[in-house]
Amino acid sequence: MTNQKRVCIILGTRPEAIKLAPVIQVFQKSSSFESQVILTGQHREMVEQVMQLFNIKANYDLEIMQVQQSLNDITCRSLQGLEALFKEKKPDLVVVQGDTTTAFAAALAAFYQKIPIGHVEAGLRTDDILNPYPEEANRRLISQITQLHFAPTPWAVENLHRSGVLGEIHMTGNTVIDALLNVAATQAVCNVPGLDWDSYRVLLATVHRRENWGEPLLAIAQGFLQILDKFPDTALLLPLHRNPTVRVPLQELLGNHPRIFLTDPLDYGELVGAIGRSHLLLTDSGGLQEEAPSLGKPVLVLRDTTERPEAVAAGTAKLVGTRSENIFANAAELLSDPDAYEAMANAINPFGDGHAAERILQIVQNYLGVSSETST
């Protein structure tokens, strides 16, 4: 179609791939758009798993990933690769997601070419520029040059208004709920050698945040051990991040415990299956704070700040920090008090209804002035 608009959707990490998969799918089904999926390569294997799960293929891959790459490396190589592509493709809109270095570099590259930017999951804030680092700065910087802000919640909308950003602000819900419900409907499973899901209350944990490296990571691990010591009917499933800064200390501290199951990163289907079978989650992940409540699982957040205060306010998540005694006390309450557990498990998820990507498509159609007709 000669009147199609060209939209470039940029991603580099697994969370971006998960949250952009529903967006990519609706744009690819629309006859109004020619969509181009561009990978920076900030992550490699974990992104490929998600792309396969959602049956999505990339049009271009910058392949920037290097061993022990720095934030400068990621930013510079992404800017250079995207400059050439944007000059060649001349997109009508560039879509980025969240607060990764890929998202920041892609938004900046689009701005340098005077291409409008659509920011999925806009408006998250901790109001601490170094926590999480560099994400809080990335999302604030992206907001300053964005034309279409796709905010997941009323809280995020208010953050954007308070920030005085330019561009249109739209509340869409979070696309991660679209992705989660899509995968959960397939009855996803997670089989871990040696782990009998029916014999234990399984605690699903993930730890990877840069601000938790070092002493906080060791304290978190001690908190896990205290929980397992107090509650012999529990087991811990801990998929390990590939970064050796995180992976090695956790292996050394937890690897010999008979009820701790350390695995490689789960693919997204397995992760959804694990959330569904687990009793509760302990995590420093942002996405899991959004996903677990949709499946009725309480979340203890292993951070001192969160850019998702909606989850805390709704009662689906609790901010417990990284001190071992706090982690133990809060987990012990949920494992000992059925009323406390049910209150969190049954709280309403504030992050959306599974139709965020459809709303984003409609907003972009209106912004670019194209027909809403779609093809099947």
Among 16, 34, 92, 135, the active-site one is 135
333 is catalytic: no
Among 121, 270, 290, 307, the active-site one is 121
Measure the CA–CA gap between 290 and 177, rounded to whole angstroms: 7
Among 6, 44, 210, 257, the active-site one is 210
Is the CB of residue 105 less than 8 Å from the CB of residue 74? yes
3-class SS of residue 195: coil
Among 125, 208, 303, 359, the active-site one is 208
Alpha-helical (H) ranges within the chain are 14-29, 45-53, 71-89, 101-112, 135-144, 154-163, 175-184, 215-230, 244-254, 268-277, 287-291, 309-314, 324-336, 338-345, 356-368
Is the CB of residue 26 less than 8 Å from the CB of residue 118? no
Name the superfamily (CATH) of residues 5-173+354-368: Glycogen Phosphorylase B; (3.40.50.2000)
Note down pLDDT in tens along the chain; length 376 residues: 458 999 999 999 999 999 999 999 999 999 999 999 999 988 777 899 999 999 999 999 998 777 778 999 999 999 999 999 999 999 999 999 999 999 999 999 999 999 999 999 999 999 999 988 999 999 999 999 999 999 999 999 999 999 999 999 999 999 999 999 999 999 999 999 999 999 999 999 999 988 999 999 999 999 999 999 999 999 999 999 888 999 999 999 999 999 999 999 999 999 999 999 999 999 999 889 999 999 999 999 999 888 999 999 999 999 999 999 999 999 999 999 999 999 999 999 999 999 999 999 999 999 999 976 644 4
Beta pairing, strands 234-239 & 260-263: parallel
Beta pairing, strands 317-319 & 299-301: parallel
242 is catalytic: no
Among 6, 44, 201, 241, the active-site one is 241
Beta pairing, strands 168-171 & 148-151: parallel
| DSSP-assigned states of every residue in 234-278 | EEEEEEPPS-HHHHHHHHHHHTT-TTEEEESPPPHHHHHHHHHH-
What is the amino acid identity at position 268?
Answer: Y
277 is catalytic: no
- The contacts of residue 206 (CB under 8 Å, 6+ apart) are 238, 239, 241, 281, 283, 284, 285, 288
Is the CB of residue 151 less than 8 Å from the CB of residue 351? no
Q: Where in the chain is the domain with CATH 3.40.50.2000?
A: 5-173+354-368, 190-346
161 is catalytic: no
Among 16, 34, 92, 99, the active-site one is 99
Measure the CA–CA gap between 131 and 129, rounded to whole angstroms: 6
210 is catalytic: yes
What is the amino acid identity at position 41?
Answer: G
177: left (phi over 0), alpha (psi -120 to 50) or beta: alpha
Q: What is the pTM of this model?
A: 0.88
149 is catalytic: no
190-346: CATH, from 3.10.105.10, 1.10.1660.10, 3.30.2030.30, 3.40.50.2000: 3.40.50.2000
